[in-house]
Chains A and B, each alone.
Chain A
Amino acid sequence: MKRNRWKKIAKLGLVLAAAASMLAGCGGIAENTGEVSSRYRENTGSGTGDEIEVRDGSEIPGYDGEPYIVLDGNEPSFTESEITEDSFESYSELDELGRCGAACASVGQEIMPTEERGRIGQVRPTGWHTVKYDFVDGKYLYNRCHLLGYQLTGENANEKNLITGTRYLNVDGMLPFENMIADYVKETENHVMYRVTPVYEGDDLVASGVEMEGYSVEDEGEGICFHVFCYNVQPNVEIDYSTGESRLAEDTSGLEPEKDGAAAEYILNTNTRKFHRPECSGVKAMKESNKETFTGSREELIEMGYEACGQCKP
């Protein structure tokens, strides 16, 4: 039966596409018998340590108006051997579809950023679309969501750490937990084990949500302890998670999307950070090593930090 891709809610009978084993020190998942889910490891026998985590049995409930829900009685599943007071951060390799897997860290002051965040617009996570809705905070439906928030590990344009996430996921779902960890670490100088696992349904390019786990190390979870799932949804918007396309929810009236112009082909000069029409004379003079073809919207390029060529005025 063909399933309806235009679903408002990701109902998650999930296969996690997390190549978790690529994570140094964070591959292990303790077996648990939580309230909402229980998980086990399936070793693919590839010999490379690649593993697939399978969420077994009961499903994560559909979105019901709250940006996050508690999993497994709020108990994170870090094993004793994973928990460390030595700061580190680790990211999964992208899978065959180019999707991010789990990212993990022992967050300490040693790896927290000391300068403002840099540009991340050049990364195009799977399912990325530049689309605006007037009623979305900041207008853009999608943000490049850090799995490990910049304020925790200082990662900028790391493609293994950025997923296509709604504004709602970013601000209402993930940010409160990142804030809690960051301020705890600053106050106590302790460490927090932190793991964020994007959850995809089948071959979807956009995650249905992220599983987030946190555990303060030195005080054994007294300060920070959580295990939640944050929904990658946006109220009043229906998302096709297989592609990232979106549309106004059917039961919404008076709210209109503000879509960007149609996709077109542009030639980028990665050195001067200008973009040109393909027929522009400036393209002919461009060094091949600086030349890159881009298909997408003008607005996306501007968001990526590119400026329009003053001659061909793309």
Chain B
Amino acid sequence: MGMIVIACVDQNNGMLFHRRRQSKDRAVRGDILRMLNGKTLWMNAYSYGQFGEDDGNFCVEEEFLSKAGAGEYCFVEDQMADEKMIEKLILYRWDKVYPADRRLEFDLGEWKPEEFMQMQGYSHAVITREVYLR
């Protein structure tokens, strides 16, 4: 059992450009919080910057990836957990390409796809929720 990692990526698996997230969408945050239904979501202060006004059960720690337990949800933006420590990967994929100097480096072909679900965002026409299992 490992942690459950949630991240946002663009069409090229990009995540960050110069230490800033590529994009954000309140519809993604809403979907995550509905999915968690009150369960704890681990993140760091940078990510809390976008969740701060949402109503959820957040645990904000800079070293959250080493503190979250098995089966717990972690929202990751400017770092990434060791692939071996993840049991489930939930990606929200933007429908565009943004500038990137940091990407998700996992070979998703090595993961078992469980779900692909398209949703409409607030500021993005289409966002795809992709769920992968180890």
Asked if B20 CB lies within 8 Å of chain A CBs, one says yes
Tell whether, in the assembled complex, residue B26 and residue A187 are in contact, meaning their CB atoms are under 8 Å apart.
Answer: yes
Tell whether, in the assembled complex, residue B96 and residue A183 are in contact, meaning their CB atoms are under 8 Å apart.
Answer: yes
Q: With a CB–CB cut-off of 8 A, which chain A residues contact B97?
A: 175-176, 179
For the complex, give the distance between the alpha carbons of A226 and B18 in Å.
Answer: 8
CB distance from B61 to the nearest CB of A (A): 21
Tell whether, in the assembled complex, residue B123 and residue A180 are in contact, meaning their CB atoms are under 8 Å apart.
Answer: no
Tell whether, in the assembled complex, residue B18 and residue A180 are in contact, meaning their CB atoms are under 8 Å apart.
Answer: no
Asked if B116 CB lies within 8 Å of chain A CBs, one says no
Provide the B92-127 mask, 1 if CB < 8 A to any CB of A, else 0: 001011111000000000000000000000111000
Pick from B25, B26, B49, B99: contact of A180, CB under 8 Å: B99
CB distance from A161 to the nearest CB of B (A): 21
Q: Which residues 10-36 of B sit at the A interface, judged by CB distance below 8 A? A: 17-18, 20, 22-26
For the complex, give the distance between the alpha carbons of A179 and B12 in Å.
Answer: 14
Residue of B20, B49, B97, B124 most packed against chain A (CB within 10 A): B20
For the complex, give the distance between the alpha carbons of A105 and B3 in Å.
Answer: 44
Residue of A nearest to B23 (CB): A183
Number of interface residues of B (CB under 8 A): 18
Q: With a CB–CB cut-off of 8 A, which chain A residues contact B25?
A: 183, 187
Tell whether, in the assembled complex, residue A226 and residue B96 are in contact, meaning their CB atoms are under 8 Å apart.
Answer: no
Asked if A184 CB lies within 8 Å of chain B CBs, one says yes
For the complex, give the distance between the alpha carbons of A187 and B25 in Å.
Answer: 6
Pick from B17, B24, B98, B100: contact of A187, CB under 8 Å: B24
Residue of B nearest to A219 (CB): B49
Evaluate whether A226 and B98 lie within 8 angstroms (CB atoms) in the complex, with A180-B23, A187-B122 already known.
no
Asked if A224 CB lies within 8 Å of chain B CBs, one says yes
Q: Which residues 153-193 of A sit at the B interface, judged by CB distance below 8 A? A: 175-177, 179-180, 183-184, 186-187
Evaluate whether A186 and B123 lie within 8 angstroms (CB atoms) in the complex, with A70-B18, A74-B18 already known.
yes
Tell whether, in the assembled complex, residue A226 and residue B124 are in contact, meaning their CB atoms are under 8 Å apart.
Answer: no
Tell whether, in the assembled complex, residue B18 and residue A179 are in contact, meaning their CB atoms are under 8 Å apart.
Answer: no
Tell whether, in the assembled complex, residue B123 and residue A68 are in contact, meaning their CB atoms are under 8 Å apart.
Answer: no
Tell whether, in the assembled complex, residue A226 and residue B123 are in contact, meaning their CB atoms are under 8 Å apart.
Answer: no
Evaluate whether A226 and B17 lie within 8 angstroms (CB atoms) in the complex, with A175-B97, A177-B99, A180-B99 already known.
yes
Evaluate whether A183 and B123 lie within 8 angstroms (CB atoms) in the complex, with A176-B97, A177-B99, A226-B99 already known.
yes
Tell whether, in the assembled complex, residue B123 and residue A225 are in contact, meaning their CB atoms are under 8 Å apart.
Answer: no
Tell whether, in the assembled complex, residue B124 and residue A183 are in contact, meaning their CB atoms are under 8 Å apart.
Answer: yes
Pick from A68, A183, A186, A223: contact of B99, CB under 8 Å: A68
For the complex, give the distance between the alpha carbons of A180 and B24 in Å.
Answer: 10
For the complex, give the distance between the alpha carbons of A35 and B101 in Å.
Answer: 17
11 extra interchain contacts, Cβ-Cβ under 8 A, other than A176-B96, A176-B98?
A70-B18, A74-B18, A175-B97, A176-B99, A179-B98, A180-B17, A183-B25, A183-B94, A183-B96, A186-B123, A187-B122
Interface residues, chain A, with chain B CB atoms under 8 Å away:
68, 70, 74, 175-177, 179-180, 183-184, 186-187, 222-226, 228
Interface residues, chain B, with chain A CB atoms under 8 Å away:
17-18, 20, 22-26, 49, 94, 96-100, 122-124
- Sample 12 A-B pairs with CB under 8 A, ordered by A number: A176-B98, A176-B99, A179-B98, A180-B98, A183-B123, A186-B123, A187-B23, A187-B26, A222-B20, A222-B49, A226-B17, A226-B99
